A and B are shown apart, each in its own frame.
Chain A
Amino acid sequence: QSALTQPASVSGSPGQSITISCTGTSSDVGSYNLVSWYQQHPGKAPKLMIYEVSKRPSGVSNRFSGSKSGNTASLTISGLQAEDEADYYCCSYAGSSTFGVFGGGTKLTVL
């Protein structure tokens, strides 16, 4: 199972909005509304930010939103803040034989 495709890096200024894409195939992202997004700060464990494409766990800021179109899922962060600078990973369910596949990760820089 190939990893999902994410841009290696994105950047934005405080207060701006950015979008991170996550492209899979009809076997994973395109077949299931089961895409999750994780935030990982350096040296820390990942944190779940979005699940089931667009749902936010309790405690996650509503500046984070998710969506999907076809084989591509997206994470949008609005009103960028310095603490949003981190690595972001998407992950999709890929059926019972493969279960889960991650994207390669995107480094977000807040300028």
Chain B
Amino acid sequence: QVQLVESGGGVVQPGRSLRLSCAASGFTFSSYGMHWVRQAPGKGLEWVAVISYDGSNKYYADSVKGRFTISRDNSKNTLYLQMNSLRAEDTAVYYCAKEYCSGGSCPPAADPWGQGTLVTVSS
């Protein structure tokens, strides 16, 4: 079965960096785009970034553009989110999710999702 496991979250000071990872299994990782979506404590979902199956296309929410970088290593079945210049408002649970339709034919549908990893930005 499809499994997505995020890691790398933790407490970090404002202005510092953190890299999240998402280990994928149970499907052909190199055939699907992947998303990062976050949820601040007690708040709604916010789409963060998406990367195409081969890494050639990347899109970001305005709130993270220029600070976050999404990437993938298809040889390791792993998705990444490099987060720089972190701010208090970046505090959230970060979920990775698999593109639902292969080839990106039905954006932004994503399923399944991982269990999430909590990032807390605080001094």
Seen from chain A, the residues whose Cβ lies within 8 Å of a Cβ on chain B are: 1, 3, 34, 36, 38, 40, 45-48, 51-52, 55, 57, 89, 91-93, 96-105
> Which of B59, B97, B111 has the most chain A CB atoms inside 10 A of its CB?
B111
24 contacting pairs across A/B (C-beta < 8 A): A34-B108, A34-B109, A36-B100, A38-B45, A45-B95, A45-B113, A45-B116, A46-B95, A47-B112, A47-B113, A48-B100, A48-B110, A48-B111, A57-B100, A57-B111, A89-B44, A93-B107, A99-B50, A100-B50, A100-B61, A102-B44, A102-B45, A104-B44, A105-B45
Known contacts A102-B44, A105-B44; A45 and B106 CB within 8 A of each other: no
Name the contact of B108 in the complex, choosing from A1, A40, A47, A100 (C-beta under 8 A): A100
A12 to B3, alpha carbons, bound, how many Å? 34
Q: How many residues of B contact A (CB 8 A)?
A: 25
Total contacts A to B, CB within 8 angstroms? 76
A38 to B97, alpha carbons, bound, how many Å? 12
Name the contact of B46 in the complex, choosing from A47, A48, A52, A102 (C-beta under 8 A): A102
Name the contact of A46 in the complex, choosing from B61, B106, B113 (C-beta under 8 A): B113
B114 contacts which chain A residues (CB < 8 A)? Answer: 45
B109 contacts which chain A residues (CB < 8 A)? Answer: 34, 36, 48, 51-52, 91
A101 contacts which chain B residues (CB < 8 A)? Answer: 47
A51/B44 in contact, CB under 8 A? no
A34 to B101, alpha carbons, bound, how many Å? 12
